[in-house]
Structure 1
């Protein structure tokens, strides 16, 4: 009998399992799919000569995460690669805002949009250098983040602390208007906010956009050499080297509860897996409460809270094998790993408003990844492995475009949506379509079939909006991984601090399990402190 059973071998589940194994626990991870990784996987499904990331691709939050850094995954083969530039946001008039690796170069580029905007960008980065490390520590620890919060308060003082809090709560449009006179900086902030489901007018969007931009300046948007799956491989090898076990093709259907405590799980084939100390669930909150755990074991109020749980937007992703680089009309995008495509902040607002009304956008905002530009191992010389994704309503009531898309996402609807996505790229890169050698479409049902955590194509484990963050995530409570069932911990992106491949929900759940089992305070404060012992290299 293992000390812990972890449900799900996504990044949070694997991080949790590694931290428990580091403290001497025996750990068994059960994964429904035939391979580990969750939304951190890659394949050659578009073309045998091209590596394509199935879901996530760029990992600034991973590179910045104190949790994942402490795992020393380079000792298990993980290597990072960067594109020459981080993010580009071209406009149809030929201008282009570029987030460079060097903050000074970013500032120089933004100065061409309006005098003074370069200095304004440098001011945002100077603030990040003062508060960034403690901000990340506060973000990645259970709520309330006492120690990093106290350090921030001591560093800033009451007045500047309140100003920082206000800035974090601002919508991206408002923060951009307060900070920049021209379009460039505003585009970078608002486009970055829409990496989540935060429109330019949504509270918290400014703070999230600033966070993503500053991570781009401080750690870049790195990619694992060889594909996203290399990150999963390193986590899995590290776990097995420390005695953990990963069993794939084992879909958990029930958490077994007796006398208010989790004792293990039951799988779809009728087998049971008992846990001596804890069960950690890297599954969405709605799949756990009332799903894996029957309502009879849960407080009545939680059922009503789950009825109010809000998912983030659905997602449609198109992967391409291109026989040459994308022929961008302007210079900036060719150097960037990530490209945002929308003709201004107003266009972003229009896009988000259509989704809010249940309409499939007629001019979708695209996040586009140039993977060979970021990592030359992804495809043959002179070619490009690329993708673009866009958001769609979870419930489609109509199509803002001419294709009568209904949200059924039949094969025909998927192809018409992919054509719509390609039309947007073509507008910024004439001749793009002639470079397509092969393509693949991942619609919301496809994504969910490949990873049950991506319910309806939601990639964030629930909305990033303020009403479902901090003490409200996943429901009003404590913002912590403990659940109403003793010995059961929520370790997925539905828990604080939410989506992104940073491992914090998994780490928080592991540390809560250790704490409840009487682990020493010193061990908890450095759940990865023992990671420096000699490792078996692969």
Structure 2
């Protein structure tokens, strides 16, 4: 007899698992099917370099997860299955070649003093901005945590207008549409502060001069100032293992090594899936796909002429992915000795990008298909916060390179001739290590093991990361909010009845916030 569930999930990314947890807690039978041997999608932790060194291969920051409505409802149950979080008081910092640096710590006095040391006016501005954050946060997080419908947007707009008045509402709209450069140059004098915050725009495909990118530097800076950061004890996969265990406890199933090759749909209604081994799995109430839009129509619905809606299918195929990302994981005998100061060893993140112009150039080079001369380098020092991830006295280093091209057309520096990532990857990783070495001399001598994943490797591991796009789709204004993944389809529906699309390619986008999975599950379950 074929398997049958109320809801069947294609892919076991964290959004799918969150949705399955919620539906199962409401009495739905759920089956989650994942082609890889491990659940989690872009949330994976492995001993990638040497035994005993646990590396978050992709996503690492669990702040969105810990602050999510999903965690507020289900966190206690997940803790019973081993979910454990570690707070980081010193969140992120950006040194410059001159040795000057700025960093955000949860202690407002420390952060404001660093800002004041660079600019007295900036020290006061930081305090003032943080003082107003509690009044701004409900509107911004309310927007990011709401389904994208005209009704919800109207309600949010009315609430903001009543609380803030016309002028305050216009200021909020200005923030949502401003570029990082416009916002940061208006607010701060010191280039070090501007660079430290602008780096967060690059995390979501917003170079300094792209409209709509100001929100993310603002939110990251203020939220980290208010709450600090959070990572998973022993690895980010603590959330994945806990959700898988919770689903099993509630009677559901998470099957790995089970590739879905087709979504069954007849008479305009989805009723199940087909696995690579020919197994048929029936879905009585919903099929939920955690895949990129193009893969949904071409791979999973392709044998039935797509969704049946030519406009939807065209939009899915034209869904725009951002530039690529490279990951370098290092096992170290000791943390880097940062030239800017010993204090940088305490920070979870160290961004290597001295100014906005450097980020703008790196982004433009990557978008042109060139290996950037000097990309933004995000150095994660997880073992400074969670020593359990490495043998005693030793460390891991999580190095994320933003941005790089998915397809190489050349090298902006003119020193790497290869245009295939299989050949260029290690050489480009050497360039990245050279840049780290310039900020922290002697780092290379501390390397015990190295593991590199190029954009091609990221896509091979997870087809949703097209071209190595680690956020599964650009967040530019034309593909965000009501337009994510495409105009008219921001509520996780598809033209096929009972078929839903979730994941980072859908609203509210990238990050480990469980937003799309939880919001859809609440709608399906009615609460």
TM-score (norm 2): 0.95
Query: How do 1:107-146 residues align onto structure 2 when only pairs under 5 Å count?
Result: 107-144=112-149, 145-146=152-153
Aligned to 1:417: 428
Q: 2:320 aligns with which of 287, 310, 315?
A: 310
Aligned partners of 1:215 and 1:287: how far apart in 2?
34
Work out whether 1:347 is the aligned partner of 2:395.
no
Instruction: Report the Cα distance in structure 2 between the residues aligned to 1:405 and 1:9, rounded to whole angstroms.
Output: 38
SS at match of 2:348: strand
Moved more, 475-484 or 295-304: 295-304
Cα deviations across residues 313-363 of structure 1 (Å, max 9, x unaligned)? 111110000011111111242110111001212111111121122211011
Q: Deviations over 1:394-438 (max 9, x none)?
A: 23221112333544111x411101101101100100111011011
- Work out whether 1:462 is the aligned partner of 2:503: no
Deviation of 1:225 (Å): 0.4
Query: Among residues 254, 260, 273, which one is paired with 1:252 in the alignment?
Result: 260
Q: Does 2:457 align with 1:446? A: yes
2:312 and 2:495 in contact (8 A); partners too:
no
CA distance, structure 1, for counterparts of residue 193 and residue 48 of structure 2: 37
Other-structure match for 2:22: 19
User: What's the offset of the Cα at 1:496?
Assistant: 0.7
Corresponding residue to 1:175 among 174, 183, 186: 183
- The farther-off stretch of 183-192 and 496-505 is 183-192
The separation in 1 between residues aligned to 2:71 and 2:179, in whole angstroms, is 29
The residue aligned with 1:194 is 202
Show the counterpart of 1:533. Answer: none
CA contact (8 A) 1:52 1:378 kept: yes
Q: Secondary structure at the match of 1:46?
A: coil
For residues 419 and 266 of structure 1, the distance between their equivalents in structure 2, rounded to whole angstroms, comes to 43
Q: Distance in 2 between matches of 1:148 and 1:10?
A: 29
| 1:127 Cα offset (Å) | 2.7
The residue aligned with 2:86 is: 81
**1:489–1:513 CA contact under 8 A, matched in 2:** no
Question: Matched residues in 2 for 1:119 and 1:475: separation?
Answer: 41
Q: Is the partner of 1:98 in helix, strand or coil?
A: strand
Q: Which runs of 5 or more residues in structure 2 are unaligned?
A: none
Provide the residue aligned with 1:277 in structure 2. 285
Shift of residue 149, structure 1, vs aligned partner = 4.2
Deviation at 1:152, TM superposition (A): 2.8
Shift of 1:252: 0.6
Q: Secondary structure at the match of 1:385?
A: strand
1:392 aligns with 2:404: yes
Aligned 8 A contact 1:403 1:416 in 2: no
1 CA distance for matches of 2:263 and 2:419? 33
SS in 2 for 1:403: coil
1:219 aligns with 2:227: yes
SS in 1 for 2:482: helix
Q: Whole-Å Cα distance in 2 between the matches of residues 296 and 437 of structure 1?
A: 49
- C-alpha separation in 1, matches of 2:307 and 2:390: 51
Match among 10, 14, 21 for residue 13 of structure 2:
10
Change (3 A) 1:248 1:495: same
Give the match's secondary structure for 1:226.
Answer: coil
Shift of 1:99: 0.8
CA distance in 1, matches of 2:308, 2:388: 49
Q: Deviations over 1:31-68 (max 9, x none)?
A: 11111111111111211021111111112211221222
The corresponding residue for 1:322 is 332
In structure 2, distance between residues paired with 1:373 and 1:15 = 29
Question: Among residues 289, 297, 303, which one is paired with 2:297 in the alignment?
Answer: 289
- Deviation for aligned residue 1:509: 2.4
SS at 2:284 equivalent? coil
The whole-number CA distance in structure 2 between the counterparts of 1:66 and 1:317 is: 30
Q: Is the 8 A contact 1:131 1:152 kept in 2?
A: no
- 1:65 match: 68
How many equivalent pairs are there? Answer: 515
Aligned equivalents of 1:276 and 1:211: distance in 2?
Answer: 40
- SS at structure 2 position matched to 1:276: strand
Q: Which sections of structure 1, spanning at least 5 residues, go unmatched? A: 525-538
Instruction: Answer with 363-372 or 67-76: which moved more.
Output: 67-76
CA contact (8 A) 1:425 1:432 kept: yes
RMSD (Å), alpha carbons: 1.5
Instruction: Write out per-residue CA displacement over residues 89-121 of structure 1, whole angstroms, 9 at most, x where no aligned residue.
Output: 000000011011123321221111112101211
SS at match of 1:291: helix
TM-score, scaled relative to structure 1? 0.93
Q: Which whole-Å CA distance do the structure 1 matches of 2:162 and 2:109 have between them? A: 28
- Give distance in 2, aligned partners of 1:90 and 1:296: 50
